[in-house]
């Protein structure tokens, strides 16, 4: 290490541009901050020795230097910006219907551009290796940029002395000379600055007035916050950090909550859908009519949470203990032991059971027998007594007719239909009945008996998302630290004013990391009662 | 008079007062005093601005009482709020820097935004379950305030560019600046075209399929472009000349695209007419008015408004938004287009700040960035709902 000893006696590390103590330019290093061409000194990091500007030999040096460049950082941000925007041109894969093949969907919906979008992998852009790599590179850049600057800057600000070298004073952006000045004027000036919350330090008549140094650390604090957020994002790649499940529960049903190791059960006591009533809410009447009269007001599940008593034994019927009862609404999840249940989907009026009666085809009032088909517990055969029985030949939970051929759309009893065989003492072989909602078609015209719908029981289904997320506190901490850092750096400015006595007169120089206007105002009003000339701005834009 | 009408009248009053205040700020150009110092006209201007702001605050409060929820739940309400916050941000910046010319730019931008807002349905609307939470007020107001403060940097950037860009020849710079002004004319065009055809009660209906459901939509402007795969069901009407492309996914994309085209055409006519009157580019005509402006202060305002607005925007549009998304949709981040564009905005202003603070992009470069940043904000406010699909469809 080639330490640099300044004429003021301070020993600076290699690569220093301005002496940490007195600010005298180190001649051989002026090219680093471009000072040799300019009238003013580059004060960005107080001329401290940054690793990236000092060493450039090994691969480590070169990598470090690459990532410590703000130019590279900004390019990475711009690339991430453009990539993110591209991902919104067409919907991402997670937002297209699940039942379709993505490769076809993009071509069919969006033509040649859609196909290209899919081929390039943009349909899953935010999960692609290159997008993640881009964000990771931004993370690396954040870390290296910060370390490269914060360490030397901290050193420089710690070692600064009130007494500065003349060259340093003269080459500040705000600089002014006053040839003749009384001691009282300087005193007044210092007093006024003190009133404005400047910290005053003095050394042989040389004065440094400094304010809000902490704001210099703002950028580094907010970068730490961002790094914590990125760490949170990395942890999300590990499944044990979070639970993200989904469960449909029918009214009256008790079901195990997925993702809880069979520990918890949920009972759906009632699902409620409320709509706005234009007559009750007169002020909204016009808007409700415009929306076609169907504006939902509330989606709610009244739920009971049970905990399994004792150990969970696979296969055995668990003993449940009621733990919590509550209402789940959109925006009001139900929380228990770190898990949260969110109101997410619903299905109204699913069939729970249907009752039928058997009667002679010409006399509907003369019932021979009745039976109830329970959707949750379907039987193959129902005995009606007196030798009559009904066999379920086929059951279609959600009927779909294609060219007159029945099949089922899904396993959910949303539109059930049946083919029944009826047997009886006075029936020769059997009679076939086809039953669907709103239709009772007899396949054979000559049936003696007929099955009619006697009653139905319906219920609603609620769809709940189950969540437990251990990464949330990490994201929250990162966000809070980021906000503190960004406010600290943006809403305060580090201002320094140097008072440099000169024979009969005084030199005044000042520097701030931003908001020069505010610094000028501070100085101007502090000098109001004195004959000292306010320093002039040596660099105006126009 | 009920609360709703009081509220509407107050908004109208505020608009008129802003207009008068703008005239007073305009009068400061001719005053002999150096800009930056206050003149009598400026004092009247800022006083009127504050009165106008209080009137608009009254609109906000009375509408809140009338609806029973904060009026930030649909496009009209949010955009109006955005305009109000722009005036608020202007008032604060004005007292920091006393730059009169800023009033001449910021107030008209605010007025155009409020005028734009009032073209959307204004009746009180009920809250759907996803919006029923305090996070509605917290997220939307903070995001709106942040975007409004950032918009002040646009006004300052515009002043900077109009004064600074050399208008002696036509090149990419002068063309781009003129294009920015054209976009303002296009917004005016939107307002005028809408008002004209609304007064005529013009109507034409189309039948088409949206999300697999048979839908009809009513245009209140003549149809240049019809919804994708639709049939016109009103007879004896003009057009349509062509159909909306299939990839425009937004709710009623066809109607919105048609309005957009009309706005561009209206803006073109207004802009061309203004240029004919002035016999030069509008920016060139404005340039001499800014003779006395101190560019250093304008540059400082441009930067300060980003420095103040960026943290507020981050808090409102990303952090509060994420918290709400977690509560309502059980995921704090879902790559929804509105979310992504908030992130794009954030990336952009992060780059702006790094370029300025570390790479010395001051003055003109900064001013161009301020203009682009505002364009991104407006894209997120308007185009994301128009062109892209998404969950954030209410506003």
pLDDT along chain A (542 residues), means of 10: 84 91 90 85 88 87 91 94 91 83 84 88 92 94 93 91 92 91 90 93 92 94 96 90 90 90 91 87 82 85 91 79 92 91 88 88 83 88 88 88 80 86 85 76 68 86 91 95 95 94 90 88 90 85 48
**Is pLDDT above 90 for B118?**
no
**Is B332 in Cβ contact with A490 (below 8 Å)?**
no
> Do B273 and B301 fall into the same domain?
no
> Do B253 and B297 fall into the same domain?
no
ipTM of the complex as predicted: 0.88
Is A87 near chain B, with CB under 8 Å? yes
Reduced to 3 states, what is the DSSP secondary structure of residue A40? Answer: coil
A234 within a domain of the structure (yes/no): no
Contacts of A537 in chain B (CB under 8 A): 296
A419: left (phi over 0), alpha (psi -120 to 50) or beta: beta
**Is B344 in Cβ contact with A81 (below 8 Å)?**
yes
- For testing the chain B interface, which of A81, A241, A485 should be mutated: the one with the most B CBs within 10 Å? A81
Is A297 near chain B, with CB under 8 Å? yes
**Is A84 in Cβ contact with B344 (below 8 Å)?**
yes
- A134, A211 in Cβ contact below 8 A? no
- B269 against A455, higher pLDDT: B269
What total number of domains does chain B contain? Answer: 2
For B126, the closest of A111, A281, A486 (CB atoms) is: A281
**CA B97 to chain CA mean position, Å:** 24
Supply A291's token pair. 């929306």
> Do A369 and A387 fall into the same domain?
yes
Reduced to 3 states, what is the DSSP secondary structure of residue B368? Answer: helix
What total number of domains does chain A contain? Answer: 5
Q: Which residue matches tokens 């690396």?
A: A140
- For testing the chain A interface, which of B62, B311, B331 should be mutated: the one with the most A CBs within 10 Å? B311
Supply A218's token pair. 């703002």
Closest CA–CA distance from residue A369 to any residue of chain B (Å): 43
Last residue of a domain, one of B278, B307, B332: B278
Closest of B166, B378, B374, B111 to residue B283, by C-alpha: B166
Is A296 near chain B, with CB under 8 Å? yes
Domain of residue A145 covers 50-157
Strand order in the sheet with A264-275: A254-256, A264-275, A296-308, A320-329
Closest CA–CA distance from residue B19 to any residue of chain A (Å): 30
DSSP code per residue over A505-518: EEEEEEEESS-HHH
A183 within a domain of the structure (yes/no): yes
Structure pTM? 0.87
CA A162-A163-A169 angle, to 5 degrees, is 100
What Rg value do the Cα atoms of chain B yield, rounded? 21
> Do B274 and B285 fall into the same domain?
no
Strand partners, A419: A394, A434
- A46, A28 in Cβ contact below 8 A? no
Closest of B221, B230, B229, B227 to residue B251, by C-alpha: B227
Contacts of A45 in chain B (CB under 8 A): none
A316 within a domain of the structure (yes/no): yes
Closest of A360, A356, A358 to residue A448, by C-alpha: A360
- A417, A423 in Cβ contact below 8 A? no
Helix (H) or strand (E) holding A321: strand A320-329
**Is A114 in Cβ contact with B354 (below 8 Å)?**
no
- For testing the chain B interface, which of A71, A243, A330 should be mutated: the one with the most B CBs within 10 Å? A330
Least confident of A316-330, A513-527, B211-225, B237-251: B237-251
Is A299 near chain B, with CB under 8 Å? yes
**Is pLDDT above 80 for B395?**
no
A44 within a domain of the structure (yes/no): no
Closest of A519, A372, A515, A527 to residue A454, by C-alpha: A372
Residues A529, A212, B367, B91, CA torsion sign:
negative
**Is B314 in Cβ contact with A109 (below 8 Å)?**
no
Share of chain B above pLDDT 90, in %: 48
B394 within a domain of the structure (yes/no): no
How do strand A199-203 and strand A206-211 relate by DSSP bridges? antiparallel
Question: Of A377-391, A509-523, B141-155, B210-224, which has the strongest mean pLDDT?
Answer: B141-155
Question: What pLDDT, on a 0 to 100 scale, did the predictor assign at position B212?
Answer: 66
Domain of residue B108 covers 3-167+281-386
Question: What pLDDT, on a 0 to 100 scale, did the predictor assign at position A542?
Answer: 44
A302 vs A299: CA distance, rounded Å? 10
B293 vs A187: CA distance, rounded Å? 36
* Helix, strand, coil percent values for chain B (each to nearest 5): 70, 5, 25
> Do B175 and B214 fall into the same domain?
yes
Contacts of B367 in chain A (CB under 8 A): none
Last residue of a domain, one of B244, B278, B312: B278
B146 vs B159: CA distance, rounded Å? 21
Mean predicted lDDT score pLDDT of chain B: 87
**Is A541 in Cβ contact with B296 (below 8 Å)?**
yes
Is A138 near chain B, with CB under 8 Å? no
Provide the terminal-to-terminal Cα distance of chain A, rounded to the nearest Å. Answer: 44
């Amino acid at each position: 290490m080639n330490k640099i000893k300044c004429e003021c006696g301070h020993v600076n590390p290699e690569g220093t541009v301005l002496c940490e103590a007195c600010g005298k330019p180190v001649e051989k290093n002026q090219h680093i901050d471009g000072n040799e061409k300019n009238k003013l000194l580059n004060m960005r990091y107080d001329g401290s020795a940054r690793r990236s500007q000092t060493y450039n030999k090994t691969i480590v040096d070169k990598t470090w230097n690459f990532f410590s460049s703000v130019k590279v950082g900004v390019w990475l941000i711009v690339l991430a910006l453009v990539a993110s925007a591209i991902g919104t041109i067409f919907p991402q894969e997670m937002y297209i219907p699940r039942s379709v093949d993505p490769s076809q969907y993009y071509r069919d919906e969006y033509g040649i551009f859609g196909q290209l979008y899919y081929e390039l992998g943009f349909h899953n852009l935010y999960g692609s290796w290159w997008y993640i790599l881009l964000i990771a590179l931004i993370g690396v850049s954040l870390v290296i940029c910060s370390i490269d600057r914060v360490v030397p800057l901290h050193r420089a600000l710690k070692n600064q002395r009130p007494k500065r070298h003349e060259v340093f004073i003269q080459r500040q952006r705000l600089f002014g000379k006053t040839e003749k000045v009384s001691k009282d004027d300087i005193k007044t000036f210092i007093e006024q600055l003190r009133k404005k919350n400047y910290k005053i330090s003095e050394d042989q008549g040389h004065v440094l007035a400094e304010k809000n140094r902490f704001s210099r650390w703002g950028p580094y604090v907010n970068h730490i916050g961002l790094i914590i957020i990125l760490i949170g994002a990395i942890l999300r790649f590990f499944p044990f950090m979070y639970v993200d499940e989904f469960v449909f529960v029918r009214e009256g049903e008790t079901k195990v909550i997925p993702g809880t190791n069979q520990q918890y059960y949920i009972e759906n006591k009632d699902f409620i859908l409320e709509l706005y009533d234009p007559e009750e809410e007169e002020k909204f009447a016009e808007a409700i009519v415009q929306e076609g009269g169907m504006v939902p007001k509330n989606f709610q599940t009244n739920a009971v949470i049970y905990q399994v008593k004792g150990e969970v034994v696979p296969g055995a019927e668990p003993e449940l203990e009621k733990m919590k009862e509550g209402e789940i609404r959109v925006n009001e999840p139900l929380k228990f032991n770190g898990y949260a249940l969110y109101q997410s989907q619903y299905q109204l009026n699913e069939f729970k059971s249907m009752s039928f009666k058997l009667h002679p085809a010409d006399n509907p009032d003369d019932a021979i027998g009745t039976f109830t088909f329970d959707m949750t517990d379907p039987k193959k055969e129902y005995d009606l007594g007196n030798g009559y029985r009904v066999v379920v030949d086929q059951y279609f939970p959600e009927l779909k007719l294609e060219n007159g051929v029945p099949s089922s759309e899904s396993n959910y009893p949303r539109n059930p239909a049946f083919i029944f065989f009826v047997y009886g003492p006075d029936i020769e072989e059997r009679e076939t009945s086809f039953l669907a909602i709103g239709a009772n078609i007899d396949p054979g015209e000559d049936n003696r008996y007929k099955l009619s719908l006697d009653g139905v029981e319906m219920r609603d289904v609620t769809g709940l998302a189950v969540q437990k997320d251990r990464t949330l506190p990490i994201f929250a901490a990162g966000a809070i630290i980021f906000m503190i850092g960004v406010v600290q750096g943006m809403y305060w400015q580090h201002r320094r004013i140097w008072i440099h006595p000169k024979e009969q007169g005084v030199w005044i120089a000042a520097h701030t990391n931003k908001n020069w206007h505010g610094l000028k105002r501070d100085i101007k009003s502090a000098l109001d009662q004195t004959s000292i000339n306010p320093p002039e701005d040596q660099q105006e834009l126009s | 008079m009920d609360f709703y009408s009081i509220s509407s009248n107050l908004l109208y009053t505020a608009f008129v007062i802003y207009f008068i205040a703008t005239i007073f700020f305009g009068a400061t150009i001719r005053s002999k005093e150096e800009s930056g110092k206050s003149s009598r006209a400026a004092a009247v201007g800022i006083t009127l601005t504050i009165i106008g702001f209080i009137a608009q605050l009254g609109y906000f409060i009375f509408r809140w009482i009338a609806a029973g929820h904060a009026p930030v739940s649909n496009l009209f309400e949010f955009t109006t709020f955005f305009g109000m916050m722009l005036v608020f941000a202007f008032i604060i910046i004005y007292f920091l820097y006393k730059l009169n010319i800023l009033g001449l730019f910021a107030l008209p931008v605010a007025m155009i935004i409020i005028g734009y807002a009032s073209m959307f349905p204004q009746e009180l609307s009920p809250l759907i379950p996803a919006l029923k939470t305090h996070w509605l007020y917290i997220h939307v107001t903070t995001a709106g305030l942040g975007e409004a403060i950032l918009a002040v940097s646009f006004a300052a950037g515009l002043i900077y560019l109009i004064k600074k860009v050399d208008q002696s020849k036509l090149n990419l710079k002068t063309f781009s600046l003129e294009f920015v002004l054209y976009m303002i004319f296009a917004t005016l065009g939107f307002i005028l075209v809408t008002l004209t055809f609304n007064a005529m009660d013009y109507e034409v209906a189309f039948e088409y399929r949206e999300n697999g459901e048979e839908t009809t939509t009513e245009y209140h402007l003549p149809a240049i472009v019809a919804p994708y795969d639709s049939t016109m069901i009103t007879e004896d009407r003009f057009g349509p000349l062509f159909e909306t492309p299939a990839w425009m996914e937004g709710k009623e994309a066809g109607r919105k695209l048609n309005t957009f085209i009309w706005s561009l055409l209206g803006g073109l006519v207004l802009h061309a007419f203004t240029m004919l009157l002035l016999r030069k580019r509008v920016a060139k005509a404005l340039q001499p008015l800014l003779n006395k402006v101190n560019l250093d202060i304008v540059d400082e305002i441009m930067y300060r408004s980003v420095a103040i607005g960026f943290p507020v925007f981050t808090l409102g549009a990303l952090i509060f938004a994420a918290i709400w998304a977690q509560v309502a949709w059980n995921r704090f981040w879902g790559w929804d287009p509105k979310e992504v564009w908030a992130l794009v905005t954030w990336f952009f202003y992060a780059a702006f700040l790094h370029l300025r603070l570390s790479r010395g992009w001051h003055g003109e470069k900064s001013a161009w960035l301020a203009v682009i940043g505002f364009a991104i904000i407006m894209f997120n406010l308007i185009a994301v709902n128009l062109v892209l699909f998404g969950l954030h469809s209410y506003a």
